[in-house]
Amino acid sequence: MKTFDFTNKENLTIVEIKQILDTETFELNLLNKRNGEKTDDYWHWNNFDRFAVRIHKSLVEEIKENKELLLHLEKEVREGKQGKYSHFSIFRQKDIDRIYDDRVQDRSHLGEYRNDYLDAYENDESNFWNND
């Protein structure tokens, strides 16, 4: 299995992704579910280096129209029938940025347990420790 020393890379074009994976062409096939039903994802398999690339059908069409589209490459090591392999997923960078921004900007959950913690220990001297 070829090793890749990253878990994700941002703001890449499809040409840069191919360079990172040392692949000239992705041989894409529609991915099937275990029951044989086709999905909307394409799958490229490199048996020699033991890695797979998964990309959504609509994203492939967008890349055909715009080779400079910024993409996000994500890697995880998975266990297959014949051992471990690297599984890459390609996403639109703007989709990843939007998801990240939503998580960072929504700060409503921060501190929500703070008051519960303070109320539980208020005026209970047995909970005051290390204050001789």
Domain count for the chain: 1
Q: Is the pLDDT of residue 117 over 80?
A: no
Residue 132 lies in a domain: no
Q: Is the residue at 130 inside a domain?
A: no
Strands 38-46 and 29-32: antiparallel
pLDDT at residue 113 greater than cutoff 50: no
Predicted confidence band of residue 92 (pLDDT cuts 50, 70, 90): very high
Average per-residue pLDDT for the chain: 84
pTM equals: 0.74
Is 49 among the domain residues? yes
Domain residue limits at 89: 8-93
Place of tokens 């909970």: 127
Residue 46 lies in a domain: yes
Q: What is the dihedral sign for C-alpha 13, 17, 23, 29? A: negative
Alpha-carbon radius of gyration of the chain: 23
Chain centroid, CA 43 distance in Å: 16
Contact 47, 83 (CB under 8 A): no
Check residue 114 and give its pLDDT. Answer: 46
